[in-house]
Amino acid sequence: MDETGQFYDHLASYYHLIFENWDASMARQGDAIAPLIRAELNLPPPQTARVLDVACGIGTQTLPLAARGFRMVARDLSPAAIIRLQREAEARHLVVDAAVADMRQVRSSVLGAFDVVIAFDNSVAHLLNDDDIRTAVQEFLAVLRPGGVFLCSVRDYDKVQRGEPATINLGTREEREQIYSLAQQWSWDDPMHYQSTFTVDRETPNNPERVVSTVSRFYAISTGRLLELMREAGFRECRRIDETIYQPILLGRRGA
């Protein structure tokens, strides 16, 4: 997973530009995810929960949940992302326990049990085979209290044209009188694995200046197979939830 950590290290300063308005996107996600958690745990507002974000990045889900009173513990492979998250939390006067950890070994980096474990933004797809996913999901199950829930959001690879190179233009963003263009290029190693090259270019008076070019690999696993692996690990009530945020959410519950 060193490559994945480096991928997000390189992106940490620019990751918010993926969203047209990062703050607005965080607010929408907080407004969607917080009620989902409360409903699954039967917690009436303003009650909250202890949540472990095992792939927190710069805080796209951690920060809005912390702002809504959830007790957030945040872990990520990328040291640069964790530093950025800590800075963003301090700027918003939020308390977040943030540290570097691999999701496949996250149990050793935390204390106590959690009501919820989350892994959003297709982070589980960085695990490149079923065995690594099983290992991670077993870690998530182990840190949950009885009745606690695991939530992950993933790309719906059933809708992806496998094996076909693709360029995904994410558009331009203006920040501090600078204009940036963002894009991803996909190249497939086989029908189940691809490399994503993420680029960020800054406009200059002459030619665009490339400020980031970073590569990571993904496992194009279907949501159906992920649900199977969650069941094999011991999760119950596993299901897919659509139209809550911009990706499908998969949910599993630890037995009582």
Residue 192: pLDDT band (50, 70, 90) is: very high
In the chain, CATH 3.40.50.150 sits at: 2-157+221-253
What Å distances lie between residue 51 and 108, 132, 162, 193, 199, CA to CA? 16, 22, 34, 30, 32
**pLDDT tens by residue, 217-241:** 999 999 999 999 999 999 999 999 9
What's the pLDDT band for 81 if we cut at 50, 70, 90? very high
Domain boundaries for CATH 3.10.450 within the chain:
159-219
Q: What is this structure's pTM?
A: 0.96
Query: Average model confidence (pLDDT) for the chain?
Result: 96
Architecture of the domain spanning 159-219: Roll (3.10)
- The mean pLDDT value for 10-21 works out to 96
- The CA-based angle 213-181-122, given to 5 degrees, is 65
Say if residue 137's pLDDT is above 70.
yes
Average pLDDT of the segment spanning 18-37: 97
pLDDT of residue 235: 98
Give per-residue burial for 64-77: e unless 16+ CB within 10 Å, then b. bbbbbebbbbbbbb
Say how far apart CA 255 and CA 237 lie, in whole Å. 9
What's phi and psi for 170, nearest 5 deg?
-95, 0
Average pLDDT over residues 30-56: 95
Q: Does the pLDDT value for residue 128 go beyond 70? A: yes
pLDDT digits (tens, 9 = 90+) for 87-101: 999 999 999 999 999
The full DSSP string for 107-132 is GGG--S-EEEEEE-TTGGGGS-SHHH
For the domain 2-157+221-253, what is the CATH code?
3.40.50.150
For position 47, what pLDDT does the model report? 86
Residue 1 has pLDDT above 80, yes or no: no
